[in-house]
Structure 1
Amino acid sequence: MRVLVVQNFDNTGLGQVGAALAEAGADLDVRLPYKGDALPRDATGHDAMVVLGGGQNALDDEDYPYFPALLELTRDFAGKDRAVLGICLGGQLVARAFGGENRIGGANEFGWRGVSLTPDAKADPVLSALPETFPIFQWHDDTFELPDDAVRLAGNDVAENQAFRVGRAVYGFQFHFEADRPLVKDWSSSFAPTIAGRHPDWAGELEHEMARNGPDADAAGLAIARAWVATI
């Protein structure tokens, strides 16, 4: 199993998705196109693709000119019935690839927040085993409209579209289910100045929030990761 990982920003990582891929014995091909790495021309050499998050918005083609090629690559993976996973910015790019409208700003969430599954999620192979509501880590300002042929799988009051599926195994997630407590602690350190500027109480709240929400969020995130890997 060879999986293409598209990283879009410094100090982001696979987190629990990486753990699930390691359990499955996956061979990872990590590309950093924002640092000049070339993307594959098509999906032929890979069985699946993961598109990670970042601080940019999904319409920023001027500063990230590889975005259009990434959208085309996403559609090629889908056309070859190969699994795709987009998280946060990655989920917004997956939505854009299939015609969903990106909305910049107006959907600010940071920290562990609750999300609720839709009725369609009860029959979804990735989300059906999860509780109807659960806490999960969020860090975003933007949101998106669903592509016409997408199945809406989760939402909350801030961002109606928190998870969706296109076809058999192309998934977009707004929330950071890959971010378990160790990864959140790493982000809290790596991005401390950025976080402090917008959420000045975060450093003092982190340990309490991890204790209150971390166990349930980590369990939900690992379950999602393992179930998506099973679609490859």
Structure 2
Amino acid sequence: MTDILIITHIDYCTPGHLAKVLDDAQLSFTELRADLNQLEGYDLDRPKAVAIMGGPMSVNDPLPWLQVEINALKHFISRDIPLLGHCLGGQLLAKALGAQVSKMAYTESGWQAMDVVAGAEQSPWLAHLPDDFDIFQWHGDTFALPEGAQPLLSNRWCANQAFSWGDKILALQGHPEMTAELVRQWLHDWSHLLDASQPSQQSCEVMLDKLDDKVGALNQVAEGFYRHWLSQAPELYARLNGLS
């Protein structure tokens, strides 16, 4: 076991760029598939930082392993360790904190521009962000804000794109972890689920246009989130190479 835990939920929602950041920094991590019941028997007092990735399921689906994961997240919250949720992972954090997760009237997909919520400009989670930036999206559910949360990001399709809770928790509705390989894979396998005639959904052509440039910009956004996440666990942050 290692000091960093990454929870995944399906084979094609990998840690992506997060894994590269940790590998480059020579920080080892444990990856567990919650949907394969790999959280069962895991020592929840071991990790010093936890990231939760995405998945196609809803937090409201009647899947027993989802409740096991939510209970694990509640335990991590009680331990006051850094937690970072991506898409489904952000929704699971919201649920664990007592907020509702609900279905939207449409799917939001593609490279979507973000807005910093008024009053959140000084949040340390956002200190690295440029004036204009996109985060890759693919979701049909959205989280409400838990009691005590600070809203951070929003856009025209989804009012709650990110929130922080306390000093050490960040929940994101989008996918900052995306790599060019992951974008191509998702569009190859799942583009039939999209409808580019809907204004909230980009066409495959738009998503793939200048993909390397878009992913490069997204990597910079992601690395700022990951840097601050790790900085909340000083014993891990001190071992970072190339991120400070």
Q: TM-score, normalised by structure 1?
A: 0.87
- The 2-side partners of 1:208 and 1:104 are apart by 29
Aligned residue in 2 for 1:79: 78
Given the superposition, is the C-alpha separation of residues 66 and 154 from structure 1 closer, same or farther in structure 2, using an over 3 Å criterion?
Answer: same
Aligned residue in 1 for 2:7: 6
Count of residue pairs brought into register by the alignment? 227
- The 2-side partners of 1:203 and 1:151 are apart by 33
Aligned residue in 2 for 1:231: 232
- Secondary structure, in 3 states, of the residue corresponding to 1:31? strand
- The 2-side partners of 1:95 and 1:84 are apart by 12
- The 2-side partners of 1:109 and 1:20 are apart by 27
Greater mean deviation of Cα atoms: 125-134 or 194-203: 194-203
- Secondary structure, in 3 states, of the residue corresponding to 2:104? coil
Shift of 1:182: 3.1
Aligned residue in 2 for 1:37: 38
- Secondary structure, in 3 states, of the residue corresponding to 1:85? strand
Asked if the contact 1:92/1:174 (under 8 Å) is kept, the reply is yes
Asked if the contact 1:105/1:141 (under 8 Å) is kept, the reply is yes
Aligned residue in 1 for 2:47: 46
- Which amino acid letter does the alignment assign opposite residue 59 of structure 1? N
- The 2-side partners of 1:40 and 1:151 are apart by 33
- The 2-side partners of 1:181 and 1:167 are apart by 33
Aligned residue in 2 for 1:196: 192
- Which amino acid letter does the alignment assign opposite residue 33 of structure 2? L
- The 2-side partners of 1:98 and 1:107 are apart by 25
- The 2-side partners of 1:142 and 1:34 are apart by 19
Aligned residue in 2 for 1:217: 218
Given the superposition, is the C-alpha separation of residues 81 and 224 from structure 1 closer, same or farther in structure 2, using an over 3 Å criterion?
Answer: same
- The 2-side partners of 1:198 and 1:73 are apart by 33
- The 2-side partners of 1:107 and 1:198 are apart by 10
Asked if the contact 2:91/2:173 (under 8 Å) is kept, the reply is yes
Given the superposition, is the C-alpha separation of residues 197 and 46 from structure 1 closer, same or farther in structure 2, using an over 3 Å criterion?
Answer: closer
Asked if the contact 1:78/1:167 (under 8 Å) is kept, the reply is no
- The 1-side partners of 2:195 and 2:137 are apart by 13
Aligned residue in 1 for 2:103: 104
Residues 1-232 of structure 1 aligned to structure 2 (within 5 Å): 2-40=3-41, 43-60=44-61, 62=62, 64-189=63-188, 191=189, 194-199=190-195, 202-208=203-209, 210=211, 213-232=214-233
Tell me the percent identity: 26
Asked if the contact 1:84/1:170 (under 8 Å) is kept, the reply is yes
- The 2-side partners of 1:11 and 1:167 are apart by 31
- The 2-side partners of 1:25 and 1:40 are apart by 27
- Secondary structure, in 3 states, of the residue corresponding to 1:122? coil
Greater mean deviation of Cα atoms: 220-229 or 134-143: 220-229
Instruction: Mark the runs of 5 or more structure 1 residues left unpaired by the alignment.
Output: none
Asked if the contact 1:42/1:77 (under 8 Å) is kept, the reply is no
Instruction: Mark the runs of 5 or more structure 2 residues left unpaired by the alignment.
Output: 197-201, 234-244
- The 1-side partners of 2:123 and 2:33 are apart by 31
- Secondary structure, in 3 states, of the residue corresponding to 2:124? coil
